[in-house]
Amino acid sequence: MRKQVVILFILLLLVWGLSIIKSYSFIIENYYSRAFYPFLSHFFKFLFQWVPFSVGDVFYLVTIVFYLILGALLFINLLKKNGRKAASILLKLVNLGLGLYVLFYISWGLNYYRQPLSVQMELQVDNISKSDYILVLDKYIEQTNSLREKLDLDTLLRERADLDLSIDMLNDKVLKGILSKTQVKVKSPLSSEIVSFFTVTGYFNPFTQEVQVNKKIPLVAYPFTVVHELGHQMGIGFEDECNFIAFLKLRDHSNTWYRYAVNYEIMQYLLRPLYSEDREKYNSFLAKLSPKVIEDMQYERDFWKSYTSWFNTLTNLFYTRYLTHNNQPEGMTRYSMVSKLVVAWELKNRGL
């Protein structure tokens, strides 16, 4: 048990050190996100990128099983009033949790504390007028309608998007220096069906640095999700910023599907604030959408509705707490904050 106490002391020191480092975004940006993280990613690429399945999913399953076994052993020893053995098992549980916490932040999690993209790209997100916002929304509704008329969903392949978009991100010049290009690859979850019950479109595993994209999600959302998750893999922590990277990479793409996907997603993010602020205006903009776009939106709603349950509500609450703990006090609302980045970018680059 003495060994476990020593390990606990070391881990607590590391947790304390990480809590201090989190306060210095300049140091994290320049020495972690742009230097250490890309270097460390070579190790994870060597270990896991060549494996055809999601090693991260296996890691999660093994960790859960190990915790359950230790928890059962702790309970049994408490019933037997074997205090010394119970204390040893409890220390192992605590050390495992702290070890995972330290590994999470060293392997990727400190990216949550890097300098915001709005600062690095000089975007004025706090000076957006309602008239500017409406102008941009109108533009994206028009573009979404136009692109949808040119699109045949029956001819699209997810595997092709995985390859195309991975290559595009690897060759990125728009966000030079901001994105780590050590490894850029998309995998599938062990079970997209199970992942769908979490209502998850895709996810990044910080312990193995793998990207998994749900292969069952509607095609209209797929390219946007791929780039969003690759943004995480390339060192971006904030959810709105990964959405914004998808916007930057897909808005002028030569592929109609990819352009439609980003316009379709951004249009909905721009619409959402109006739903709570001005329902009448929201309905008026909704009425501008073409029948095909409305059909896509309804298909998506029906798809996720078939997987929605109390379990999904519970996981959303957990993820909200996770985001709040990791420098995103807005929780799930953080995704929608991409609308401010898009409007600020339009005002700066398009002269609207």
pTM attached to this predicted model: 0.96
Q: 169-195 b/e with 16+ CB inside 10 Å = b?
A: beebeebeebbbebbbbbbbbbebeeb
In angstroms, the CA 155 to CA 344 distance is: 35
Mean pLDDT of 227-239: 98
Residue 352: band (very low, low, confident or very high) from pLDDT cuts 50, 70, 90 = low
pLDDT of 270 strictly over 60: yes
Mean pLDDT of 168-186: 94
User: H/E element holding 149?
Assistant: helix 130-149
At 25 the pLDDT is: 96
Indicate left, alpha or beta for 177 from its phi (over 0: left) and psi (-120 to 50: alpha): left
Contact present, 169 and 242 (Cβ < 8 Å): no
- Exposed/middle/buried for residue 328 (C-beta within 10 Å: 0-12, 13-18, 19+): buried
In angstroms, the CA 350 to CA 352 distance is: 6
Residue at token pair 């509500």: 313
Mean pLDDT of 182-211: 96
At 303 the pLDDT is: 96
Mean pLDDT of 302-325: 91
Residues 85-135 have pLDDT tens digits of 999 999 999 999 999 999 999 999 999 999 999 999 999 998 888 899 999
At 2 the pLDDT is: 81
Strands (E), 6-80: none
- φ, ψ at 129 (rounded to 5°): -85, 160
At 351 the pLDDT is: 59
In angstroms, the CA 78 to CA 50 distance is: 44
At 161 the pLDDT is: 97
Among 138-152, 256-270, 314-328, the minimum mean pLDDT is found in: 314-328
Q: What token pair was written down for 39?
A: 């270097």
Residue 315: band (very low, low, confident or very high) from pLDDT cuts 50, 70, 90 = confident
Contact present, 22 and 111 (Cβ < 8 Å): no
In angstroms, the CA 212 to CA 226 distance is: 9
At 41 the pLDDT is: 97
Indicate left, alpha or beta for 351 from its phi (over 0: left) and psi (-120 to 50: alpha): left
Q: What is the mean pLDDT of the chain?
A: 94
Residue 293: band (very low, low, confident or very high) from pLDDT cuts 50, 70, 90 = very high
